[in-house]
Homo-oligomer: A and B are copies of this chain.
Amino acid sequence: MAEEWATFGSDLHLDLHGPGLRTGLMDALREAVRSGRLEAGVRLPSSRSLAADLGIARNTVADAYAELVAEGWLTARQGSGTRVAQRSVPRRPATGSGGRPATPAARRARARPTYDLKPGMPDLASFPRAEWLKASRRALTAAPHEAFGYGDPRGRIELRTVLAEYLARARGVHARPERIVLCSGFVHGLRLMGEVLRAGGPPTSSGRRGRVREVAVESYGLEEHWALLTRAGLRLPALPYDELGTRTEGLAGMKGVGAVLMTAAHQFPLGGALHPDRRVAAIDWARSSGGFVLEDDYDGEFRYDRQPVGALQGLDPERVVYLGTASKSLAPGLRLGWMVVPESLVDEVVEAKGHMDWTGSALDQLTFAEFLGSGAYDRHVRAMRLRYRRRRDELVAAVAAHSPRTRVSGIAAGLHAVLELPAGQEQEVLRSAAWQGLAVLGLNRFRHPDAAPTHDGLVVGYATPPDSAWSGALAALCRVLPA
């Protein structure tokens, strides 16, 4: 229970001063009851211990308990503590999964290696098909006729409205619906930003924002993203990396740089969270130089051991472009992404997006709005977090047992871990992995060409394999690690 409460605590990104704290906690408790995760009669932790788990004031928890008792969700009785009230909504049915008729695509998929531990993909078998269909029924029923027409280039207001509320609650993002621009995933958003930065701002009373020619990137990242910005005509100097994360204080010395691309909450692939000083340094740089931080919050929902690290965007919504997607939390196939854009850039982003034809499917946007607004999204994320956390723990245990000298890092969050290898062994391990039919990637393929090598390693994505293949994948991985 304790560990479950620790995870439960991490469902909330709580502003430890704001009034949203108590209501956020209450929402989360209601959801836990609704979803059946807290069953009728279950005794809740004392306000003191939950307050400690969450690192918040005990009175806040006590108040939330009291209000939920008043609302009938909980009962409080002398001596028996606070419990979930007897009348409670039945647990939602499990979502569909298991054997599907094999399509050509499915048959092609089998041609892939036996075990897939490449990072970047969630567990596709867990897509909540039944809940999604419910949401799309509601969306199709409620949609006004004009929803089927050419839409607002920012995307449907219904989704932007619930997203603003969700991002504020879950990620500490300062979002207003009119500053959210929906896109078809992170890469679409990054393409748009590349265009906007490269083009420079239109003339305004306060002058004209110059064309950006350089975007600083982290020492480790995704080559595809760098290639995309390079094609947009941008140079990409790399920022050094140390145990506190990317050395953003270096930005002050990089004169040509007009923006920086960062995975602040969970560096990809190394897995660390950017140190608070470094977060502040990035924002200070942006403010003083008029630059922008492009925040790639690719798996912000999946934090296991403590409260989620809030988005950098919360520190200065006018200097940070926040980019998020449903690709890790739900599925890449939805092609649902969102940007929270500084007010000064909204018009340019919309212009780059194209006025009518890049909105993406209105029906998917309305369905996701229902899915998010109904709490189904929070339930799904919580369920997946427990599932991924279990896999992470199994990975760590297996590696410790079979390869005690191999250090596993970057495991506090996300869907992947880094296994550090003795210097010079990466290629050899990858070769034997290939022999084992194990698809896994080396750390150095994620290193920026200009960045100094730190160490060899494997980047292991533990979310992808179906349950049936998980233990086999783990065994294959252990076989290729140094004993």
Contacts and interface: CB of A to CB of B under 8 A. Distances in A.
B124 A133 contact: no
Interface in A16-49: 27, 48
Interface string A447-483: 0000000000000000000100000000000000000
B70 A176 contact: yes
B125 A66 contact: no
A100 B142 contact: yes
A58 interface: yes
Interface in A55-99: 57-59, 62-63, 66-67, 70, 76, 78, 95-98
Interface in A121-138: 121, 124-125, 127, 129, 132-133, 136-137
A67 B144 contact: no
B177 A358 contact: no
Nearest to A78: B165
Each complex incorporates copies of this chain amounting to 2
B95 A343 contact: yes
A356 B165 CA distance: 29
Contacts of A343: 95
A187 B140 contact: no
Given A70-B177, A78-B27, A103 B144 contact: yes
A157 B59 contact: yes
Best-surrounded residue of A27, A62, A358, A361 (most CB of chain B within 10 A): A361
Interface in A208-233: 224, 228
Given A178-B67, A360-B361, A62 B158 contact: yes
B187 A357 contact: yes
A57 B177 contact: no
A279 to B, nearest CB: 26
A150 interface: yes
A160 B63 CA distance: 10
Nearest to A57: B146
A157 B100 contact: no
A131 B363 CA distance: 14
Given A67-B178, A333-B151, A145 B100 contact: yes
A136 B334 CA distance: 13
Contacts of A165: 78
Nearest to A334: B361
Contacts of A143: 100, 129
Best-surrounded residue of A125, A129, A149, A334 (most CB of chain B within 10 A): A149
Contacts of A150: 121, 332-333
Contacts of A142: 48, 100-101, 103
Contacts of A157: 59, 62-63, 66, 103-105
Nearest to A347: B96
Nearest to A356: B187
Given A146-B57, A361-B361, A66 B161 contact: yes
A358 B57 CA distance: 22
Nearest to A364: B361
A102 interface: yes
Interface of A: 27, 48, 51, 57-59, 62-63, 66-67, 70, 76, 78, 95-98, 100-106, 109, 121, 124-125, 127, 129, 132-133, 136-137, 140-152, 156-158, 160-161, 165, 176-178, 184-188, 191, 224, 228, 331-336, 343, 346-347, 354-364, 466
5 smallest CB-CB distances across A and B, nearest first, come from A148-B331, A333-B362, A187-B357, A106-B144, A148-B333
Given A133-B137, A335-B362, 6 more contacts: A105-B158, A121-B150, A132-B363, A185-B357, A187-B356, A187-B357
